[in-house]
Amino acid sequence: MKKYSKTHEWAELNGKIATIGISDHAQDQLGDVVYVNLPTVGKTVKAGEMLCSIESVKSASDVYAPVSGKIVEVNKNLETTPETVNKSAEKDGWIAKIEVSNPKEMDSLLDKAGYDKIASEKH
């Protein structure tokens, strides 16, 4: 099941591998994405730490790791088509895959309904 962080990332766990991206709400707030500064494969991150940054036409925004672990893959397609983040933030626009060190961290993330509530309040 897809879970969300308060900082607008999503994570979907499949076995030990979590796929990470930014929420559809986040891409809408960012506007036209023109560059994704992809994280480095092999690096380990802790939940809440900066994972990478995304550049829209107007500004750069940090993306935080929703779960801890080792980055095992990044979405290379975003190098040539960063706008995929706008078109499909929660599917084709995924950013990285993380081999999670503590699957229980998923439990502390929000479900879709909980996240939608936060997202609509912020607006």
Partner 1 sequence: MELKKTPLWSEHERLGAKLVEFGGWEMPLQYTSIIEEHKVVREKAGLFDVSHMGEILVEGADAVTFTDRLITNSVSKLKNGEICYSPMCYKNATIVDDLLAYKFSDIKVFLVVNASNTGKDYEWIKEQSRGYRVNVTDVSKDYAQLAFQGPLSEKILKKVAGIDLSKISFYSFTTGQINGINCIVSRTGYTGEDGFEMYFDPAAAVALWRKILEIGSEYGVKPCGLGARDTLRFEACYMLYGNDIDDTTTPLEAGLGWTVDLTKPEFNGKEILVEQKEKGLKKRLRGIEINGGIARHGYEIFAGDKKIGHITSGTKSPTLNKALALGYVETEYSKIDTGLSVDVHGKLAEGKVIKTPFYRGSVKSK
| Interface contacts to partner 1, rule CB under 8 A | 31-32, 34-35, 37, 53, 55-60
Nearer to partner 1, 86 or 101 (CB): 86
Output the smallest distance, CB 111 to partner 1, in A. Answer: 27
Nearest distance, CB of residue 57 and partner 1, angstroms: 4
Provide, rounded to whole angstroms, the least separation between the CB of residue 106 and partner 1.
Answer: 28
Closest CA to 32 of 58, 8, 53: 58
**Best CA proximity match to 52, nearest among 70, 42, 40, 66:** 40
Kindly tell me which of 32 and 111 has the beta carbon lying closer to partner 1.
32
Residues near 1 by beta carbon (within 8 Å), at least 6 away in sequence: 12, 13, 111
